[in-house]
Amino acid sequence: MLTVGNPSSNSSADAAAIERRIAGLIARMTLAEKVGQMSQVMAEGDDAPRRLATVLREGRIGSVLNQVEPRTVNELQRIAVEQSRLGIPLLLGRDVIHGFRTVLPIPLGQAATWNPEIVQAGARVAALEAAAAGINWTFAPMVDIARDPRWGRIAESFGEDPCLASRLGVAMVRGFQGDDLSAPGAIAACAKHFAGYGEAEGGRDYATTNIPENELRNVHLRPFKASVDAGVATLMASFSDLNGVPASANSFLMRQVLRDEWRFDGFVVSDWDSVRQLAVHGFTAGDRDSACEAATAGIDMEMAGNAFSEHLESLVGEGRINVELIDAAVANILRVKFRLGLFERPYLDPDLLPQTPPEEKLRIAKVAALQSVVMLKNDAAVLPLSTRRIRSLAVIGPLADAPHDQLGTWIFDGEPGLSVTALQGIRDLVGEGVDVRYVRAMETSRSRATQAFDQAVDVARGADAVVLCLGEESILSGEAHCRADIGLPGAQVELVRRLRATGKPVIAVIMAGRPLTLVDIVDEVDAILFAWHPGTMGGAALADLLFGVESPSGKLPATFPRMVGQVPIYYNRKNSGKPPTQDSVVLIDDIPVGAPQTSIGNTAFHLDAGYRPLFPFGYGLSYARFGYTNLRLSSDELVVGGAMKVSVDVTNLGKVAADEVVQLYVRDLVGSVTRPVRELKDFRRIRLDPGHTTTIDFELHADDLAFFGRDNTLITETGEFQLWVGGSSDADSCASFRLVNAEGAAR
């Protein structure tokens, strides 16, 4: 059961004092100053203080974006605090998505760690580095559920599952904000994009989303609710529309759900210029109407655009917007500024910031990279490599020595010069004992030129093994970088086949911002390490994994389809009335010529792909092998309002110490609305020595089985359930129990 506190909550006395200060400030503010608090502007460049001085003195800016020069940050703050009438400090925002100077794996890679502790530690490092540059607000975590790998922003997500995304989103919030939001080094987090952005049609960024309210509440809103319960300071609205109403003007989301139901008292910021884009959607006739709709719906601050600054005052004057609505938005913004301690400590003072030794930052980045890599294949135990058996190693491919690309998408402040690439990591590890020969073979991952393939083949023939670094450049994923074909781009497949023909063992190391369709190469290589974009220490981590210093332990946070036509494909699907089975699938090549059409015995699958993915959610191999035995429940009945203990014995049947991620899944067999075939409810990362057995205990609470029913209210229904514990969503250790009411009568 997920239970979280509010790390940034104030005592009732402190909260009351803040509310009094907010009320006092608002009572003194002019309408222009109020609208100013609702406006965020760009502040790039050394001349930002000069350019913005006048509007800052007039109190017409509440937040600035993308200024990371400490002296300039302090000058902007000085003008706002010392030269404006009311001296209200600024919020300084920046996209700190998966690191600042020290870069961790992309969020999807961090999700593959299934480790909230390392996600929190990484966010803490990022917060301290960003705070040292003057940043006090980041636009992370992104907790959109992402079921379509074509969508470029799946790289920023925690994958397809609400439980995993909730746990890791909360961890990131806690890392950024700490136990006390006003403490030096804490920065305000922003859960985004509220809501449903990950369901964009066809995986095309900014496209429309159509999500029934029941699905919205049962899947897409859950990580946002967890973030709000954890005390996230701010939320960001989605670019996309939701069921015909753009999120930036969606009062159902911003007022009914967020304010009335969840009692959120931070503030909501639009996405970049998304208020003015309401007119582009065709939802409004122009910027004036857009400002009215967004403010009325509950957008408190406009990012980058000028619809609020140009039109809110006159809209109030005309009576189209009540000043009380403006006051409420300003109160939400001021509340965050007070909680950050900006009124008491507006300036950046590096001497006040906690210090993290550089080696500790790199250690955290390396652990995150180590735990994020998912081993998808290891035929004949070709891995780990051994320096005793390998005397010559070919390292080939466009991403083997790509310090920038391994950092991944959405890194403004990362330093490629700090990157340890795969080539460097391997050379550092093996030293002089192994002859490492490197051929780039392709200029970029997109290259179609094959002129260098002959050289790559020659080097491979002279080596004992080949490490082939493939995938996507960082620019091929992220915002507005969606792909219709998610196979390996360029001539990479041909390169694989040419190297396979040498007869040497080929180990594919794949760096990418999304799940890829790997059917073209999966049978052409001996092993696959899927490394996402692993960040600053990616190469050092990969070297340790390739040579067995550590065992791979990452697990997939998103399903890998066989081909793009299976998308969307995700583990927690509904069963349908004709669910597929292995026996019901007839593939296209097996259909007899002239076969009659019939509906008898038909099930839900693709003739050319079957119904199974290439690799399922939660999957990941290890150099060890883990056995699951003696699955047991503390009772075969769980009372509504109560909890039960779920226990399983896990044994390391291998020869090396290794980590395993133990996963607990549940199925509600009968519901008043149809329920998924499996749902992740809990997980635990453990480490076991060879031959050792440990007992893992989970607490499953009846509340974990609640869902939104036909009337879209949260309910807990009695009835029959199945439960699995294992190393992936395909776990087969199964038990059954009944959820009963206090009188013991199931439905």
The residues carrying an active-site annotation are 271
Q: How far apart are CA 383 and CA 21, in angstroms?
A: 62
CA dist 629 and 233 (Å) reads 43
- 601, 697, 711: which is closest to 644 by C-alpha? 697
State the number of CA atoms in the 13 A half-sphere of 703 facing the CB. 6
CA dist 721 to 466, 671, 737, Å? 48, 10, 5
**Separation of alpha carbons 123 and 113, rounded Å:** 14
- The Cα 337–Cα 63 span in angstroms is 10
Residues ≥6 apart with Cβ < 8 Å to 487? 493, 516, 517, 518, 520, 564
DSSP three-state, residue 118: helix
DSSP 8-state code for residue 563: S
Cis-peptide into 246, omega within 30 deg: no
| Three-state SS at 258 | helix
Is residue 501 within 8 A of residue 483, CB to CB? The reply is no
Name the one residue in this structure whose structure tokens are 């294992």. Answer: 726
Which tokens hold the place of 550?
Answer: 């550590």
Rg (CA), the chain: 27
What is the token pair recorded at 605?
């699958």
What residues contact residue 357 under an 8 Å CB cut-off, 6+ apart?
none
Question: Rounded CA gap, 209 and 198, in Å?
Answer: 8
- No. of H helices and E strands in the chain? 20, 26
CA angle, residues 516, 521, 526, in degrees to nearest 5 = 115
With tokens 């359930």, the residue in question is: 721
How far is 311 from 326, CA to CA, in rounded Å?
A: 12
Instruction: Please give the Cα distance from 92 to 89 (Å, whole number).
Output: 10
Tokens 């994020």 -> residue: 372
Query: Tokens in use for 161?
Result: 């599952």
- Nearest C-alpha neighbor of 470 from the set 434, 427, 411, 522: 522
CA nearest to 220, candidates 160, 265, 276: 160
Distance CA(579)–CA(513), nearest Å, equals 31
Element containing residue 681 per DSSP (H, E)? strand 679-688
Mark out the alpha helices in 511-566 (DSSP H runs): 519-522, 538-546
Please say whether the beta carbons of 211 and 242 come within 8 A: yes
Note whether 494 and 453 are within 8 A (CB). yes
Percent helix, strand and coil across the chain, each rounded to 5? 35, 20, 45
Q: Give the other-Cβ count within 10 Å of 687's Cβ.
A: 13
The full length of the chain comes to 747
* Alpha-carbon separation of residue 231 from 83, 179, 180, 337 (angstroms): 32, 10, 10, 14
Q: How many whole angstroms separate alpha carbon 721 and alpha carbon 284?
A: 48
